[in-house]
Amino acid sequence: MARKPRTPRWLEAARRRQQPVPEGSRADWLARALGRAGVMPRAEAEQAIREGRVEVDGRVEQDPFASVHAGSAVRVDGQPRTLEARTLALLFHKPAGVVVAGSDPEGIGTVFERLRAVLPPRLRGYEWYAVGRLDRDTTGLLLFTNEERLVAHATSPETHLPKRYVAEVEGEPSEDALRKLREGLVLDDGPTRPAEARLPGPHRVELVLTEGRHHQVKRMLAAVGHPVRTLHREAVGNVTLDVPEGSYRVLTDAEVHQGLEFRGPG
């Protein structure tokens, strides 16, 4: 007999509380809401909650998955904290070598460690989610946000948000190779969408993709006979990399909503 899927703890907590959510608000679980609002990152929030340092609506709450909404009255260490949260996004210039993961078994480091090392105190309390991934050896534009719905939007196969890459390749691609890239290729996981392709310099190919499969740029260029030596992402949507390697900046609201075509909360 097939095992019944286990109900997530956050959903169990929400059902147990059964509190109505005010119109225009949004149900969430406590630890995640604290991270989204910039009070403290989620792991720190979970520890503070279990230690009894967080009150919700006048009582100590020790369940990190307790249901809350933006209007909940929350205190941390006796100080009132708001759960109101606007969508923030950061543009980070990823260096080579670090991974887009929570930990690095090779000990070189993660993008989250590199990002937090350069953030000012006002931004360190947020839980930052990487918007998609870049390989360890790939450099360039990597976005972070406190809003999971922006992650889902920007990485969804249905969004077709353009991403621009420049690859240094072996050999000098011919016009026939560029034509194949522009028309779309058949890879081992199916046909690709047509890409924009041009040659900005010797042994260099600029590709603009509207999908994001695993190692897609490398696989497409290998398929036309030009393996990638180095890969750099220059733009996502209409947001272009414009900061030095290892540094970041906060995107404007216009860049989030128009540049990334995100229609979610501001």
Burial classification of residue 190, based on how many CB atoms lie within 10 Å of its CB (0-12 exposed, 13-18 middle, 19 or more buried) = exposed
- Listed residue (34, 14, 21) closest to 80, CA to CA: 34
Assess whether 135 carries a catalytic annotation: yes
| Amino acid occupying residue 237 | G
Under a CB-based contact definition with an 8 Å cutoff, are residues 67 and 27 in contact? Answer: yes
Name the catalytic one among 57, 135, 137, 189: 135
Q: Give CA angle at 76 (13, 115), nearest 5°.
A: 90
Write the DSSP string, 41-90: -HHHHHHHHHTT-EEETTEE---TT-EE-TT--EEETTEEE-------EE
Write the DSSP string, 233-251: EEEETTEE--S-TT-EEEP
Question: Dihedrals φ, ψ of 127, to 5°?
Answer: -90, 115
What residues act catalytically? 135
